[in-house]
Structure 1
Amino acid sequence: MQHARPQGAAPRGVPRPARSRHGRVTAVSMMKDEGPYLLEWVAHHLAVGFTDLLVYTNDCTDGTDEMLIRLEALGLAHHRRNVIPKGIKPQPSAIRHAQEEPLVAESDWVLVLDADEFVCIRYADGTLDPMLDAVVAAGAGGIVMTWRIFGSAGRHEWSRDFVTEQYLRAAPMDWNKGWGVKTLFRHDPERWKLGIHRPKMRNKVLDTDYPASVHWLNGSGLPMEEYFKFRGWRSIQRTVGYDWVQVNHYAVKSIDAYAIRKLRGNVNAKKDKYNADYWALQDRNETQDMTMLRYGAARRAIFEGLLRDPVLGELHRGAVGRIEARLAELRRSAGYAALVAELSQASRLPIAEAVATPPKARDPERIAALMSRVRERGAARPPAPRGPEGPPSYRCASPQEGMDARLAGTGHPTPPLTWHHNHGVALPADPARFTPPALAQIAQGKFERNIARNFPKLVPAGGTYLELAPASGLVASLLALGRPGPDAADEADAAVAAGPAHIGLCGIEPGMRDYLEMLWSKNALPSPRWPVIHEMPPGGQGPVDALRAALGACPAPSLLVLGAPALCPDALGQVLGDAAPAAVALAGPLWEGCASRQARFEQVFAATGLRRRLPIDPALAAVYDRGIRGGQKT
């Protein structure tokens, strides 16, 4: 029998929960004292397109439960009491209750969410139905959404403004400590048990053909690996994806909001969860992500409609008033100033030094046995290929306005940077520019060691160096400083020390000029020795025009480094002509994503005599020369 939806009179202007062509799409949550934030959470997820919102509450003192009871009477949500058995924590208790809930059993799709988690869809118009259309079309029964950790945005004071509009600064997409997940999946209560991060298959189906039929996608619409059916609560490098969807995780908010939560306790009943270490981990503000603003008008309209209900309006204002009164009392306490100072200091922790508590160990032998049985049945797919280009690079801009923008010009203080010497050049551990593996190399002083050792040797004394779309500025800085890199020993190293005649950079991305000037100033490079930044010609656009103009000023460079990912091999061939370099390198983002174009690039190079590939680390670059240097065949 279909579980009846409450049919109260919703406030004027507030739409009924969506009707989905995919059936009943339910978000299950558990809350305690979330009154000031509840209506925004409800309004947002109604705007996203959930047909049902089911919330369990326990021990509320601010009216959260009363607000949900009213929302249920209006037909806008469902409320249940989280009766917690002795020895069980609140969150797993709520999940146990939800497992037996008829509404959940009758749901076609289910997602378990916390009160500080908001679904944010980039796919299509940002609502669930188009994304689920694509999931189903791919033959999948679920999509695994990775967290995006949002920090305090430097805010101290409490504010009544929307969480989703106050906090627009986040950890970089490739910060793996923030890769927890939530899974929206096609539910069958006979086969699945709910879980915090992903559902778990019931024991009775593990030794059947069913596990082999389960296919999920990641947040970029690519196939998840088979292991995730049985274990895991987070993405890994091979499975992370943000192109379609993410879960915005607002774990800390402002210092004032965090102080209130520290006193209130948490739904997991974890002892002293809200300490400075947790703040330092979660207060990540290295990049800006404004994707959530796409829901602004719809979310605001629903929220204001909810406030027009006299009961909800009074309950919401009461919850806000209570938290503001509690905050005023807290500010007069002896410990408040100390807490503010402690959290402010914790905010200065560089992202490379943030430490996450490791998860509880799983039973690897049991998981391996389960996967082995699936493979033995002959139905399990091999690990899905990621395509010839490898995993997507999140250093590239998203089509969504403001996605992953650098912090320059945002009006907020940039998080402090630590600097580390790498091959004679100080580099910043900047997570907005470098990936986590690169940050680790920078901290160890080993960033792109093979490039630092070999690229400068390809530029003789009096030679020229030109780089299209530089990513780090390392080689240009080495050359400008007259430093040959690690292990200097031979005549080529001495030539580097003598200095090139010209060091040029072109195709500079927005924000890169400021970064380079910061880099050169930090390394005390005299202004007359700064590399030349070749400007884009009037009317020019794209890497080809940038390179053509630079080659006009610096023809036939000793080494040409190509890093622009959009560079087309055929267009490059037309530009090179008589300006062909003595050596050319595919590096940076271009090399990371040019597997399908490499053969064509090599044909273009060969046409200008660049036929020999040098023994440079293939993980970093591919370098080609003419096989003759200084008049001698090498």
Structure 2
Amino acid sequence: MDYLTACCTVKDEAPIIHEWMAFHIAAGFDRLVIIDNGSTDGTADIIRGFGAADKVDLIDWPGPGTQVAMYEHVATRYRDRTEWLAFIDADEFLYPTDGMDLRETLAAMPDVDGIGVHWHIYGSSGHIEGQPGLVIEAYQRRAEDNFTFNRHIKSVVRAAKIVKVYSSHLVAPAAGMVDDAKCPLHLDPPYGFFEHKTASHTRLRINHYHTRSAAEYRVKAGRGYFGVDDEKLASEQRFQSMFAAHDRNEVFDDSALRFAPAVREIMARARTVQAHLPA
């Protein structure tokens, strides 16, 4: 039985998924469960060719679908296969505020069944085009701690205790949710957003690279959301408005760089494995 598993839904995430997998293995995940929603850019091939393939489960989910349905599927399938399940996206990097291993952080919270981990929204760092190298190196500027959008959470829950997937942000056990400082989180709408609560990053944090460069955000706008058109980025006006709202660069924060050596090593091993695979 695994201790810590990540569930991630993807669609055309080839530019970032290799680093995302390597980063989360480096941060302490035992297993990555990735649901591919009909990618056409080679995302699934990158996942299949990952060097630590024994740590990655790829689920094919073609056609329209909601993250709630995908999360419900994983919650049911993995409830007896892992102690903890984290539900995060491919542009979200979860790690301990201090230290290197998420498993140690979670083991220090034995009386908790569900944790809401707050975002740190990272902006473009002034980049117009996508940058070579690692995302955690190219984008090191974020919003201030009290930025409103940081009040969103993503869920890390004891798998066997999950009773309901409320939204892509909120997956809850019967005992309810707390933040990483053990402050209770309500289970009321809007699920997973706590407008009147300051974001906590006491033990855990998620770097949310929502925009990256302006060019990458435009690609994101054209991709859609798992076959469901929620019109967030449907027009140029909406695109510009959403980019401006999330392109926050007030604070320099390179804390994720402590994982860079391990991430590069894991990615290099993956490429070595791929090079020796039969054509």
d(CA) in 2 for partners of 1:57 and 1:311? 23
> Of the candidates 291, 301, 312, which is equivalent to residue 265 of structure 2?
301
Question: Does the 8 A contact of 2:52 with 2:270 survive in 1?
Answer: no
In the aligned structure 1, how far is the partner of 2:58 from the partner of 2:253? 32
If asked which structure has higher relative contact order (CA below 8 Å, sep 6+), I would say 2
- Pick from 93, 98, 110: which aligns with 2:85? 110
Q: Does 1:258 align with 2:228?
A: no
Q: TM-score, structure 2 length as denominator?
A: 0.87
Shift of 1:259: 2.4
Instruction: Tell whether the 8 Å contact from 1:58 to 1:81 is kept in structure 2 after alignment.
Output: yes
3-state DSSP of counterpart to 1:71: coil
1:32 equivalenced with 2:4 (yes/no): no
Q: Is the 8 A contact 1:200 1:229 kept in 2?
A: no
C-alpha distance in 2 between matches for 1:157 and 1:314: 35
Q: Find out whether 1:54 has 2:26 as its counterpart.
A: no
Say yes or no: does 1:158 pair with 2:117.
Answer: no
User: Which structure has the highest strand share of the two?
Assistant: 2
State the one-letter code of the partner of 2:11: K
Aligned residue number for residue 241 of structure 1? 200
Alignment match, 2:179: 218
Taking the aligned partners of 2:272 and 2:124, their CA distance within structure 1 comes to 30
CA distance in 2, matches of 1:73, 1:244: 27
Runs of 5+ unmatched residues, structure 1: 3-22, 202-210, 316-634
Counterparts in 2 of 1:67-466, with a 5 A limit?
67-71=46-50, 74-84=53-63, 89-101=65-77, 103-123=78-98, 125-136=99-110, 139-188=111-160, 192-194=163-165, 195-200=167-172, 211=174, 214=175, 216-219=177-180, 221-225=181-185, 227-228=186-187, 232-238=191-197, 240-267=199-226, 269-274=228-233, 275-310=239-274
Q: How far apart, CA to CA, are the structure 2 residues paired with 1:245 and 1:237? A: 20
1:120, 1:291 within 8 Å by CA — same for their partners in 2? no
Larger Rg belongs to: 1
Deviation, structure 1 residue 239: 5.6
State the AA in 1 paired with 2:248: R
Q: 1:32 to 1:268 in 2, by over 3 A?
A: same
Contact preservation (8 Å) 1:83, 1:93: no
One-letter code aligned to 1:235:
F
| Contact 2:121-2:142 within 8 A present in 1 as well | yes
Aligned partners of 1:258, 1:176: CA distance in 2, in Å? 20
Where is the helix percentage greater, Structure 1 or Structure 2? 1
Select which of 59, 66, 77 maps to 2:45: 66
**Distance (Å, rounded) in 2 between the aligned partners of 1:231 and 1:266:** 19
Aligned partners of 2:273, 2:163: CA distance in 1, in Å?
38
Task: Please list the CA deviations of residues 469-527 of structure 1 after superposition, one character each: whole Å capped at 9, or x if unmatched.
Answer: xxxxxxxxxxxxxxxxxxxxxxxxxxxxxxxxxxxxxxxxxxxxxxxxxxxxxxxxxxx
| 1:579-603 deviation line (CA, Å, top 9, x unaligned) | xxxxxxxxxxxxxxxxxxxxxxxxx
> 1:114 is paired with a residue of what secondary structure?
coil
Could you tell me whether the CA contact under 8 Å between 2:116 and 2:155 is conserved in 1?
yes
Displacement after TM superposition at 1:237 (Å): 4.3
TM-superposed CA distance for 1:232, in Å, is: 3.2
User: Aligned with 1:144: secondary structure?
Assistant: strand
User: Taking structure 1 as the reference length, what is the TM-score of the superposition?
Assistant: 0.40
Cα distance, 1:159–1:184 mapped onto 2, change above 3 Å? same
Indicate conservation of the 8 Å contact 1:70/1:311, yes or no.
Answer: no
CA distance in 1, matches of 2:171, 2:258: 29
For 1:313 and 1:144, locate their aligned partners in 2 and report how far apart those are by CA, in whole Å: 40
Task: State the AA in 1 paired with 2:242.
Answer: Y
* Cα distance change on mapping 1:241 and 1:304 into 2, 3 Å: same
| Alpha-carbon contact 1:198-1:233 (below 8 Å) kept | yes
The answer to whether the 8 Å contact 2:4/2:83 transfers is yes
For residues 536-547 of structure 1, the aligned pairs below 5 Å read none
Mapped partners of 1:296, 1:72: distance in 2: 17
Aligned length: 273
CA shift at 1:104, angstroms? Answer: 4.4
Aligned residue in 1 for 2:21: 42
Q: Percent identity?
A: 25
Q: Distance in 2 between matches of 1:302 and 1:72?
A: 7
